[in-house]
Amino acid sequence: MVTDYIRAAMSRARYEILAGDHTFYGEIPGFEGVWANSPTLESCREQLEEVLEEWILVRVARGLELPVVDGRSLAVRKVG
């Protein structure tokens, strides 16, 4: 479930080469604050996925909603 959600979110990622230093910048639309910058496209993708995972954990820990991605959602249920 979590893996499918992350894959779906990563499929929305957008990348560009920055003119100033020719590094790769990546972000996921709809996931505010989830971005990465790295010398290669592959390392940018890896960093972006790590940032996404951390972003998800922080939102879950704070009880914040997560965006629905291609019909996939991660619902946090309070136990207790």
Q: Which amino acid is at 68?
A: V
Q: What is the mean pLDDT of the chain?
A: 94
Summarize the confidence of residues 21-46 as an average pLDDT: 98
Model pLDDT, residue 63: 87
Model pLDDT, residue 76: 72
Summarize the confidence of residues 66-71 as an average pLDDT: 94
CATH 3.30.160.250 fits 1-32+44-74, yes or no: yes
> Quick one: which of 66, 76, 77 has its CA closest to 8?
66
Quick: pLDDT tens for 42-65: 999 999 999 999 999 999 989 899
- Alpha helices by DSSP H, listed for 1-80, are 2-10, 41-61
pLDDT for 72 beyond 70? yes
Model pLDDT, residue 80: 67
Q: Which amino acid is at 34?
A: V
pLDDT for 74 beyond 90? no
